[in-house]
A and B are shown apart, each in its own frame.
Chain A
Amino acid sequence: MSDHDDHDHGHDDHAPVADGDGPPAAARVRALEALLVEKGVIAHEDVREGIDWLVSRTPADGARLVARAWVDPDYRQRLLADGRAAARELGIDPGPAPVLVAVENSERVHHMVVCTLCSCYPRGLLGPPPDWYKSLPYRSRAVSDPRGVLAEFGTTLEDGVELRVLDSTADMRYLVIPRRPEGTEGLAEDELAALVTRDSMIGVAQPSAPAAVGS
């Protein structure tokens, strides 16, 4: 840090790096963590491990479940019956939430997930939720005007499709199995998984279309 010494302003060597004032919530979390560590409830290492686990998860994990369900009807049934067991079957740790419920879109039904009370989300399969998922406008409008929200994501449902919004208020975590796009009959499972976007597993979008042949 010797190249740091030519600054005019003095600062404590032990101060956090480039922290600024930060939002009040961040200061509160730091104070809580410090207290919990001081009281021996948790160790700093536990917090670090938790963060490492969370950021190690990505929507690619959930996409593997969806792609397998598209190609294997027996697996699809197992995923619908018990999401946690189906994740473990593919070597994926489904995380701490006690129950993972997979819901399937069809020609007649489209599902969309929200947590109006906070930000419940299948983090073990999708990683940290996007900021918009935690925002007040999404959380309130996803239940009161879900088709308006879908339109803002560029998603329009075909006539006659029933829209089902799931508000995950308790111990359940919901994962949407989107419809398999047309024109994907010849694709391998890993190619299918690449089409399964995070937003399609939240239910605000459809999966990506396959690239045109020869492109």
Chain B
Amino acid sequence: MSYRPGQRVRVDAREHQGHHRTPAYLKGKTGTVERVHAAFRNPETRAYGSDGLPEQPLYLVGFAQRDVWPDYPGDPDDRLFVDVFEHWLQEAQ
């Protein structure tokens, strides 16, 4: 578990061919670790018949809606929480 609750993280903006569970709308966005869930088998290899090991830590990451959608029509305090695997995160300043 490389990250802890409260830490700022950025979702990697890389392209990935094939199955992955990082939504396109989040790539390159910065948020805050809300919870450290646990480690789970990696869906990117599991989807193709592998055992999905090694397991990847999974985090619940919170984003300010206005950081994700520049034209977000709701309230400034609204937030979006998404489960993101560790290998899609990097430390943000």
Contacts of A144 in B (CB 8 A): 25, 69, 72
Digitize B49-93: 1 where CB-to-A-CB distance is under 8 Å, 0 elsewhere: 000000000101010010011001111011111111100000000
Asked, given contacts A144-B72, A147-B74, A170-B58, whether A162 binds B37 with beta carbons under 8 Å apart, the answer is no
**CB of A168 within 8 Å of the partner chain:** yes
Find the B residue at minimum CB distance from A166.
Answer: B81
> Are A116 and B25 in contact (CB-based, < 8 A)?
yes
CB distance from B68 to the nearest CB of A (A): 8
Digitize A164-188: 1 where CB-to-B-CB distance is under 8 Å, 0 elsewhere: 1111111110000000000000000
Q: Bound complex: CA of A143 vs CA of B83, how far in Å?
A: 14
Contact among A98, A145, A162, A167 for B77, CB-based, below 8 A:
A162
The A contact surface, by secondary structure, is mixed
> Are A145 and B73 in contact (CB-based, < 8 A)?
yes
Q: Bound complex: CA of A116 vs CA of B20, how far in Å?
A: 13
Q: Bound complex: CA of A167 vs CA of B58, how far in Å?
A: 13
Find the B residue at minimum CB distance from A164.
Answer: B79
Asked, given contacts A117-B23, A146-B78, A162-B78, whether A170 binds B73 with beta carbons under 8 Å apart, the answer is no
**CB of B45 within 8 Å of the partner chain:** no
Query: B-side interface residues toward A, CB under 8 Å?
Result: 21-23, 25, 37-38, 40, 43, 58, 60, 62, 65, 68-69, 72-75, 77-85
Query: A-side interface residues toward B, CB under 8 Å?
Result: 98-99, 116-117, 143-148, 162-172
Q: Could you show 27 A-B contacts with beta carbons less than 8 Å apart?
A: A98-B38, A98-B40, A99-B37, A116-B23, A116-B25, A143-B25, A145-B72, A145-B73, A146-B74, A146-B78, A147-B74, A162-B79, A163-B78, A164-B78, A164-B79, A165-B79, A165-B80, A165-B81, A167-B81, A169-B82, A169-B83, A169-B84, A170-B84, A171-B37, A171-B40, A172-B37, A172-B58
